[in-house]
Amino acid sequence: MPQVAFQRDASDPAPGSRPTISIIVEHDSHVPAVEAIIALLYGVRGLLTQLEQPQLMHVLQYADMMQLDLVAQEAVQLLVLAAKAEPGLSESVLNILRRHTWSNSMQCMQPLLPALVDSVGYDLEAVWETERTSRLLQLPLAAIKLLLSSNELRVYNEDTVMYTAARYVTAQPKKQQKKASKQLSLLIR
């Protein structure tokens, strides 16, 4: 699990001394993301545009832990552009979204939700007949709510929406099922 720690150097008691930031990365593949964040903190721009989708997700993870909302917003914008340029968001992006426990302050992720929904598609009948089923079940709750409430949603009848909501809820960890059930039940017409 990646960690970020802020601490003041006890050997330098001078007022106004700078804090030390310790960043422990989960894997070597996260290093480019952390380097891009540090570069941004020092005013060096452009490194984020060189990162692939999974690395941008790592930027989001670390920006979330360090509460760097502007860095997170820039990473989300680049992910949205990448999703439009490539055939949607990669499977690894969905896996990172699923595994990381996001802070409540991550409102900057809202622009990413349509790209997540697009990666699954609006034809629920077709989703259940393809490999996109696993993608649908891995969507964050906000994305599945966006999908099920969309005017673009294509279903034969509301039974498919109920089936989708029920399958989604049962696929979630136990501690999240009640919240998901309550929020998705409001979308059934």
Q: Can you give the pLDDT at residue 11?
A: 59
State pLDDT tens for residues 138-184: 888 888 998 999 889 888 888 888 999 999 999 998 988 999 999 99
pLDDT at 91: 78
Res 178: pLDDT: 93
pLDDT of residue 184: 92
What pLDDT, on the 0 to 100 scale, is given for residue 2? Answer: 57
Q: Quote the pLDDT of residue 94.
A: 75
What backbone phi and psi angles, to 5 degrees, belong to 155?
A: -140, 155
Q: Which residues of the chain have pLDDT under 50?
A: 8
- Taking alpha carbons only, the member of 150, 93, 155, 86 closest to residue 127 is 155
Residue 37 — left, alpha, or beta (φ > 0 → left; ψ -120 to 50 → alpha)?
Answer: alpha
pLDDT of residue 64: 82
Query: What span, in angstroms and rounded, lies between the C-alpha atoms of 111 and 70?
Result: 14
For the entire predicted model, the pTM comes to: 0.70
pLDDT at 24: 81
